[in-house]
Amino acid sequence: MADKKLQGFFSYVTISEYDEKWQFVCTDGGSTTIAPYVEYPPHKNMHPNSHKSVATGRILNEYQIVYITQGKGELQANNTRYAINPGTVFIIFPGMYHTYKPAFEIGWTEYWVGFKGPYLEKLQLEGFISPDHPCYYVGLQNSLLSLYDQILEEIRSQKPFFQLKASSYTLSLLAEILSYEKQNLQHCHSEQIVEKAKFIMEEHVYGEIHVDFICRSIGVSSSHLNDVFKSYTGMTPYHYFIGIKIHKAKELLEKGDQSIKEIAFRLGFTDQYYFSRLFKKKTGISPSHWASYLYR
């Protein structure tokens, strides 16, 4: 949980030649809650000229990580408008023309830290961060608030060698954000695997397919498909495929224009009696009694 004594705090840090040898230095930081119908940014005259025009348009010579935990607003950067909601982090890059502000009638709570150094340029060059991808939805994470609190406390107290600690915490903050992003991407990738597998099953509902065929089509191992599919659906791909067939069998039985034998063969069952037993096991009712069960 955020330290309330650091709410409404901000400071711009003096950087020494010794600090710059670290190749990653913290330049400023703060946190504040903007109430509805309040001009943004507050305390405008207390910010450097390069920073105070955040709501109208500016270019910085540093990076910033801004975390919004309450309220709503928007970021405009790279000629793109991004909706900002609670749990959103966005990164400002040096030389990026941008504006951001809370919705006037809503306000927001923000945490930010500024930093710069050659190490950041290396991270950008290697593709870890990019001005083409400034926004990250990480959710409301206590780990991020804790790191912001540690950064702001170091900036506030300015004890000997505070810059090294503040910069280290800032790098940890960046790493934490990127790890959440990676987790979200993995989640999205897993969801895509499941949806692709479902699509293939639907396409082949009138035939027979094996898990190996699905795996080859998607490009994953059978063990990975089973693990991911079961985590999303609660069943294996095989049992899900059988469920699709039984659902389709119900639809065909309701039409009443095909025999049980014809439906079984149409759905890829070579043995109509096995189909009937399976249908009854899944539904509790035999195929021959399904239509009468529906309309009783």
Residue reference for tokens 């507050």: 42
192 found inside a domain: no
173 pLDDT higher than 60: yes
231 or 98, which is more confident: 98
Of 255, 252, 291, give the one whose Cα is nearest residue 244.
252
Asked if residue 130 and residue 212 are part of one domain, the reply reads no
DSSP annotation of 206: T
117 and 43 in a single domain? The answer is yes
pLDDT attached to residue 1: 44
Whether residue 115 lies inside any domain: the answer is yes
pLDDT, tens digit, 9 for 90 and up, residues 105-140: 999 999 999 999 999 989 989 889 999 999 999 888
Average per-residue pLDDT in the chain? Answer: 88
With pLDDT > 70 as the criterion, what percentage of the chain qualifies?
95
Residue 148: closest CA among 174, 122, 129:
174
Ranking 10-19, 57-66, 78-87, 241-250 by mean pLDDT, the lowest is 10-19
CATH number at residue 110: 2.60.120.280
Phi then psi for residue 131, to 5 deg, are: -65, -15
User: Is the predicted pLDDT of residue 291 greater than 80, yes or no?
Assistant: no
Q: Are 17 and 149 in the same domain?
A: yes
For residues 115 and 158, give the distance between their C-alpha atoms in angstroms, rounded to a whole number. Answer: 16
Are 167 and 210 in a shared domain?
no
Helix (H, G, I), strand (E, B) or coil at 58: strand
Kindly state whether residues 235 and 141 are assigned to the same domain.
Answer: no
Range(s) of the domain holding residue 261: 204-296
pLDDT of residue 239: 92
Note the pTM of the prediction, 2 decimals.
0.67
Same domain (yes/no): 157, 24: yes
Predicted confidence (pLDDT) per residue in 3-17, tens digit = 555 567 888 888 888
pLDDT tens-digit series, residues 177-228? 998 887 776 677 888 888 889 988 988 888 888 889 999 988 999 999 998 8
At residue 122, the 3 state secondary structure works out as helix
Which pLDDT does position 62 carry in this prediction? 94
- 173 and 227 belong to one structural domain: no
Nearest to 35 by CA among 65, 61, 56, 7: 7
Q: Are residues 18 and 150 in the same domain?
A: yes
Last residue of a domain, one of 150, 184, 218: 184
Mean pLDDT of all residues in 37-45: 86
Which whole number is the average pLDDT over 94-100?
95
* 134 and 26 in a common domain: yes
140 and 213 co-located in one domain: no
pLDDT band at residue 242 using 50, 70 and 90 as cut-offs: very high
User: Does 296 have pLDDT greater than 60?
Assistant: no
Does residue 197 form part of some domain? no
User: Does residue 196 lie in a domain region?
Assistant: no
For residues 218 and 228, is the Cβ–Cβ distance under 8 A?
A: no
Q: How many domains does the chain have?
A: 2
d(CA 114, CA 50): 13
Instruction: Tell me the average pLDDT across 236-258.
Output: 90
What proportion of the chain, given as a percentage, has pLDDT over 90? Answer: 52
Q: Is the residue at 190 inside a domain?
A: no
243 and 212, same structural domain? yes
DSSP state of 6: G
Query: CATH number for the domain including 241?
Result: 1.10.10.60
233 in the same domain as 288 = yes
Please state the φ and ψ torsions of residue 59, each to the nearest 5 degrees.
-130, 130
With respect to residue 198, please indicate whether it lies within any of the assigned structural domains.
Answer: no
Assess if residue 199 is contained within a domain: no
Min mean pLDDT across 38-52, 81-95, 141-155 is at 38-52
Query: Does residue 256 belong to any structural domain of this protein?
Result: yes
Q: How many residues does the chain have?
A: 296
